Amino acid sequence: MNFFEHQDRARRQTVYLIFLFAIAIIGTILALYAVFAIAVAMELETSIWQPELLVLISLIVIGTVTIGSAIKLWQLRAGGKIVAFSMGGRLVNSDTQDLLERRLLNVVEEMAIASGVSVPPVYLMDYEPGINAFAAGFTINDAVIGVTRGSLEQLSREQLQGVIAHEFSHIIHGDMRLNLYLIGVVQGILLIHLCGRELLRLISNGPRSKRKKQGLIVIAALALFIVGYIGFICGRLIKSAIGRQREFLADASAVQYTRNPWGISGALRQIGGLKAGSNIKAPKAEEASHLFFGEAVKSLDFHVSLNRLLATHPPLQERIKRLENLPDGALSPGEITSANPDIESLETNVAAGFQPAATVRTAPGSIVTKIGSTHPAYLNYARSLLAQLPEVLQTAVRKASGAEVILYGLLLNFQDTSVRDRQISHLKQTESPQHLDRLWQVVPDLRSLDPHYRLPLVDLAIPPLREISPERYSHIDRQIEILIQADGKLSLSEYSLQVVFNHRLAPYFNNDLIPKIRYTTFKEIGNDCAIILSGLAEMSDRPADAFNVGIARIADVTDCPIPRKLIPTNIISIRRSLKKLVQTSPKIKQTIVDACAYTVLCDRQVRVTEAELLRTIIILLDCPIPPFLEDIASE
């Protein structure tokens, strides 16, 4: 199953969630109606069938659940950081000097570069001694990762990497958005239980003389309390039905990403041997329990088989057996006490020295399958990139002020002194002397920077810039635009930097930037596809051949009319067309990416400018693109 199929599966599971939600609501309505109908019939000696009562209860339940879900989803509109704060998370600063925190950030950065997503902010749950982690967000651009203090202190680097790889699987495969919707849905159902509990509290605190006269009200409160608790159980069942199989898939993906099953299985064994296990003590842990790497809350006091049915995660021993390929009966819960001894030797080998893996070669037909995947060679590339960045850039990119001047430095025109003088003159008028000093410190290294590292460096600059104010973000955005316009034109390299900066960072300052799917066929976007392919083809030695190869990939899967000739393009038309293509369905995006890949690789070589534009297009389509293009790009 490739990335696009995972996205489609996530959309189908959203429909499945709505179906389960509807069943839970109908069940709640019928249960409440049965209680009230019987009580009214006994009190008034009337028939149990009361259609008016059924309608009234239906309206009350649907209204209560809808309001509860809507309020919760409105609270979650800012994305994963809201969940992190509710779990007691503290944002780990990009320039932290704590060794354990620095190791965590390094692991997250490596995985982000290797998988081709924006480096997510990391939140540390300082007061959680258990081993656990979660990923939350609506898109790959507003995702966050939360990690417990116990994970930092109890896990080796390889085990921590296995856990982080598991969470990146949820980010890449579209699980997070469904998980946030699930929080809202369950909260709506739970609101009925909370209303009943509050009503009982008010009655119990009221005058005793009035309690006898409140018979129906007491029955109503008890009914809401009990039936609402049944709704809570239904919520657990929904989370279990949707989440358990995805945990197995995320475990398998983590092994695929790292090629090291002992890392993640070792982390699971550590959970089994730790007194705190994977428990989360935060008061709101229950509502977010399905987001976590391990079972976040203790089992309910039910029979073992029912607890298993309601669990949001598969049993530890079952996950370990699958990862370590153990036979049935080879592992019992009591035997989960320690990590595989090979873990420490593996970590020693990594620490001893990085050896790049063999180059991963890319053919046009394999681009789609590589989207959303990773490979040990990509992890090695990420480690190599981070290690080979000049120390000045490594230090600067960890602070917002340094990240800002790196972006400015990447846009300075060193080929035309008159343009560069205008750019510097503008910066002197609008930036502080301290900012300019930082800029001069990074400029020498930026001038000699490998062109392949430009966009990864922009991605590394995003985390500290998420901590700036909206006003500062607007200021940087304006500065980038002015620096680009200094020569009166917009190059592909400048366009790529500007687009990646805005696309990665904008969701943190505007909660309404989640793309809506508006196009599910090529009927309204055929011309836009031709414009994008024309822009890519124009960089080839054989533009007409490159365009024909790419457009044929689209024509093969649709009956909609598609332009079959090169279209004159510019950055403005490419930008306008990409805004429409962002709003296409996953299957349409798959075809677009495939067509772009065939266009770029028509002549079996990829220039740096072609690789940057192709990577930019794929990033704008919200597809995680690992660094496989760097293996085949050439000047």
CA gap 144, 134 in Å, rounded: 8
Burial of 512 (0-12, 13-18, 19+ CB in 10 A): exposed
- Retrieve residue 97's tokens: 């000097």
Looking at 377-512, which runs of residues are DSSP E strands?
none
Cα 8 to Cα 5, 20, 22, 297, 588: the distances in Å are 5, 19, 22, 30, 11
Residue 196 in tokens: 């009943």
Can you tell me the distance from the alpha carbon of 427 to that of 482, in angstroms, rounded to the nearest whole number?
A: 10
| d(C-alpha 71, C-alpha 76), whole Å | 9
Contact 210, 216 (CB under 8 A): no
State the DSSP code for 297: S
CA dihedral 149, 150, 151, 156 (to 10 degrees): 120
C-alpha–C-alpha distance, residues 245 and 265, integer Å: 17
Q: Is 167 a catalytic residue?
A: yes
Q: Which amino acid is at 387?
A: A
> Of 110, 167, 286, 612, which one is the catalytic site residue?
167
Measured distance CA(233)–CA(272) in Å, rounded: 26
Asked if 622 contacts 557 with a C-beta cutoff of 8 angstroms, the reply is no
> CA of 162: how far to CAs of 87, 133, 278, 481, in Å?
22, 11, 15, 40
CA separation, residue 375 to residues 111, 165, 169, 360, 361 (Å): 10, 12, 13, 9, 12
Whether 552 and 529 have beta carbons less than 8 Å apart is answered as no
What distance separates the 2 farthest-apart alpha carbons in the chain? 95
For 212-225, the DSSP string reads GGGHHHHHHHHHHH
Query: How many residues comprise the chain?
Result: 635
Nearest to 517 by CA among 430, 588, 458: 588
- Rounded CA separation 539/527 (Å): 19
Catalytic residue positions, numbered: 167
